[in-house]
Amino acid sequence: MAIRPIVRFPDPRLRRKAEPVAIFGDALHALAQDLAETMRAAPGIGITAPHIGVLERLVVIQLDSDPAPHVYVNPQIIWASPEMLRHVEGSVSMPGVTEELERHARVRVRYSDLSGVEHEEEAEGLMAVCHQHEIDQLDGIFWIDRLSKLKRDRLIKKFDKLHRLGA
């Protein structure tokens, strides 16, 4: 296991679509472990392989209430509730800044585990937000793309200022 360097905004790799995982084996297990360690060190509650520069569809999520991380290979949202909720989001690739976004309150996700076995999971609240946020990242949609241009520009200026000051 290793803590890997995190790709920082505005790196163009954060806007590239990740490729489906085709080979389920030791390398995938090691990548998932590295993602979990990197996420905890960031700190964060969700991370994708693209966050560490690996353009594969792999997500690790661990909420504070979870005893262990959840690993999702090739996840896709197959249903989303019409009800929406607002939640403050941020990114391990853009530390120090957050903003409120609107997301679906519940989602159903189809994914494979590290052995290649397919599953479906329904999530609500924070876990639903995490799924949508991380799957967006796999699709090359960085979370700030969901903000209005005004909010996005303000957030980028704030991040740039923090970065210049060494925060």
Instruction: Let me know: does 118 contact 111? Beta carbons within 8 Å.
Output: yes
E-only strand ranges, the chain: 46-48, 58-61, 70-80, 84-89, 99-104, 106-112, 118-124
Catalytic residues: 134
Instruction: List CB contacts of 146: < 8 A, sequence separation 6 or more.
Output: 101, 136
